[in-house]
Amino acid sequence: MSVDLKTVAYERRLAVLEMVYRHKSGHIGGSMSCMDILASLYYRIMDVEKIKMWSPDRDRFVLSKGHCAEAYYSVLTGVGLLAVEELNTFTEFNTRLAEHPTYKIPGVEVATGALGHGVSLASGMAIGLKADQPNAHVYVLTGDGELAEGSVWEALISAAKYHLDNLTVIIDRNRLQISGNTEDVMPLDELSAKLSAFGMYCLEIDGHNYEAIEAALRLRVAGMPVALIANTIKGKGSSVMENIAAWHHQIPNEKEYLQIKRDLQCVLEEE
């Protein structure tokens, strides 16, 4: 019997809150915005058993927005790829769990954190898998602020050139980055048209609607890579943080921590 995605996602959000609050580190806003996507990937789409066995035909996931590592770690513990106790070492001395994923963590394909690399890495994987693992699919999650990196667009045109229909690029479109609104920092308007012009099959979805996310992640278009613009809310789950740029990497104080915890628990208690 499959688990309830909302329950999973909000339990994982609570784990993120604990990591960030206890260790005074992390990027909580983006971790909350991408959580429903991550939960869908690991609990609905990818075969985690194959990842555990590191099977050559496993699906691949690349967290291009590596700064949301705590969301990633909390999901990896949820599916049993990482021991829950290890979350206690987040950003501590000599840990594997840095604020950006290291390559030493079970289930992690590549270390990420320097923005603008993930789509290239994922497209290289997709080229390699097309040659000998036709059933494996590659998913990469990028931020929207990250799209100002030119290398992302280099990667997109090459993914289209090589007809990488085993690649899905997911954009966590929360519209906020460290300095403020993405449209003020570097406008991405007409993003869907831009992605389509670069050769993607582009779809825009509600990045907090589990049915929409799952359907979009299952979408395959012959000869074309898929780009999903997942419209999300930075800091999703608590009115303390939602849609406030400062929560890109703000650490909650005790009062904020307790309020965020209550907000997340309230969602869990909803029918």
Partner 1 sequence: MAMVSCRKAFTKKLLEQAKQNIKLYAVTTDSRGSVTLADFGKELPDRLIEFGIAEQNAVAAAAGLAKTGKNVFVSGPACFLAARAYEQIKVDVGYNKTNVKIIGVSAGVSYGPLGCTHTTMHDYAAMRALPNLRILAPSDDVQTAWLTEVLCDLEGPCYVRMGRGDVERIYEENEHFDLNKAKEVYKGNDAAIIACGEMVAPAVKAAELLRERGLQVRVLDCFSIKPLDEVSVLSALRETKAVVTVEEHSTLGGLGEAVAHVAVENGRCAPMKLMGLPEEVIIGKSKELFAHYGLTAEGIAKTLLGLLSYSISV
Window of 35-43, 117-125, 177-185, 259-267 that interacts with partner 1 by CB under 8 A? 117-125
Single out the residue of 51, 105, 121, 240 in contact with partner 1 (rule: CB under 8 A).
Answer: 121
Single out the residue of 18, 86, 99, 154 in contact with partner 1 (rule: CB under 8 A).
Answer: 154
* Using rule CB under 8 A, residue 126 touches partner 1: yes
What separation in angstroms does the CA of 47 have from each of 61, 89, 122? Answer: 11, 27, 18
Single out the residue of 4, 49, 53, 56 in contact with partner 1 (rule: CB under 8 A).
Answer: 56
Judged by CB under 8 A, the chain residues 180 through 219 that form the site for partner 1 are: none
Window of 82-90, 156-164, 191-199, 220-228 that interacts with partner 1 by CB under 8 A? 156-164
Tell the smallest beta-carbon distance from residue 73 to partner 1 (Å): 18
Q: Which residue in the block uniquely carries the two structure tokens 């509600």?
A: 206
- Rounded to an integer, what distance in angstroms lies between the CA atom of residue 30 and that of residue 15? 14
- Rounded to an integer, what distance in angstroms lies between the CA atom of residue 127 and that of residue 138? 10
Judged by CB under 8 A, the chain residues 86 through 105 that form the site for partner 1 are: 103
Single out the residue of 151, 209, 243, 259 in contact with partner 1 (rule: CB under 8 A).
Answer: 151
Instruction: Please say which residue, 34 or 111, places its beta carbon nearer to partner 1.
Output: 111
Please compute, for residue 16, the number of CA atoms within 13 A of its CA located in the half-sphere on the CB side.
37
Single out the residue of 89, 95, 133, 209 in contact with partner 1 (rule: CB under 8 A).
Answer: 133
Q: Which residue in the block uniquely carries the two structure tokens 């809150």?
A: 17
Maximum CA extent, the chain: 54
What separation in angstroms does the CA of 177 have from each of 29, 63, 143, 245, 267? Answer: 9, 17, 9, 6, 25
- Rounded to an integer, what distance in angstroms lies between the CA atom of residue 213 and that of residue 122? 20
- Rounded to an integer, what distance in angstroms lies between the CA atom of residue 160 and that of residue 248? 32
- Rounded to an integer, what distance in angstroms lies between the CA atom of residue 168 and that of residue 158? 14
Instruction: Please say which residue, 123 or 250, places its beta carbon nearer to partner 1.
Output: 123
- Nearest CA to 216 among 32, 8, 40? 40
Tell the smallest beta-carbon distance from residue 118 to partner 1 (Å): 8
Single out the residue of 15, 45, 76, 125 in contact with partner 1 (rule: CB under 8 A).
Answer: 125
Single out the residue of 116, 143, 145, 235 in contact with partner 1 (rule: CB under 8 A).
Answer: 116
Where do contacts with partner 1 occur on this chain (CB under 8 A)?
56, 60, 62, 103, 109-114, 116-117, 120-129, 131-133, 150-151, 154-155, 157-158, 162
